[in-house]
Amino acid sequence: MNQPLAIAILGASGRMGRALIESALRTPTLRLAAAIERSGNPALGSDAGTMIGAETAGVAVTDALPAALAKSAVLVDFTGPAASLLALEACVLANRPIVIGTTGFTPEQKIAIGKAARSIPVCIAANYSIGVNVALKLVETAARTLGNDYDVEIVEAHHRHKVDSPSGTALAFGEAAATGLDRDLRSNAIYGREGQTGARKKETIGFATIRGGDVVGDHTVLFLGDGERIEISHRATSRSNFASGALRAAEWLSSQPAGLYSMRDVLGLND
């Protein structure tokens, strides 16, 4: 019988960290080996299980990342760009795969992630929900099929505490549409409109952002044609779907060679 895969979770006391701990503790093929937070975090020293209101897990929250990696097979990271890059360096030194759920990386930071992936397996995705990744595939297919006769607009909503805008998932939907239309998103994206903006340019991919309340994450891609409108939507009602997807990615990544992977690779959606 195979032993459960030892998982380390970085950003353990955050919204996603707690969801990951909860999911890991109830997944028979996984073992929570380490829960990591930044120095000074109030959760340090507490039991990871009791921190989320569950039974004692026997794993104390720590800020000692190298020691945590030494007893883990894969690191799952949902923090911020700076912390993720530090974790990436630690994983390269420890020769450990890393699943990155952080968004908001700069182009230069993305290059650094790509370089690290020459040494270790790295999975990075804007969203680890299985449903979102199926929707991304649908958006790309719809864009390719509908072509330039349909305008593309993306509307997203998140809770009031989200710090980046548009969301990484919204940008991923934009990239999927741009790929299907053979366009460059950075050259054609419009992030909001105000005032006398003039008529809409055909090649534009528009984004509208909503922030408020406790919205986990809503995304809708609209293909707007003459006489009809096609909408592809995904609405998350909890973070459990993101957590289970990220842990599925961790299990898959643990047996892969060094390289840069996405959730589409994990789900076999690149064919």
| Among candidate residues 180, 115, 140, the one with its CA nearest the CA of residue 269 | 140
Element (H, E) at 223: strand 217-225
Q: CA angle, corner 30, sides to 248 and 247, nearest 5?
A: 20
Looking at residue 64, what DSSP letter applies? -
Q: CA angle, corner 60, sides to 58 and 65, nearest 5?
A: 130
CB half-sphere exposure, 79, CA atoms < 13 A: 21
239 CA to centre of own chain: 11
Distance between start and end Cα atoms, the chain: 32
Task: Spell out the alpha helix ranges (H) of the chain.
Answer: 15-25, 48-51, 65-70, 81-94, 107-116, 130-146, 168-181, 185-188, 240-253, 263-267
- Is 158 noted as a catalytic residue in this protein? yes
Active-site residue, from 158, 159, 161, 202: 158
- Is 219 noted as a catalytic residue in this protein? no
Active-site residue, from 162, 201, 202, 219: 162
Q: Distance between CA atoms of 243 and 248, rounded to whole angstroms?
A: 9
Q: Is the dihedral of CA 9, 13, 16, 19 positive or negative?
A: positive
Catalytic (active-site) positions: 158, 162
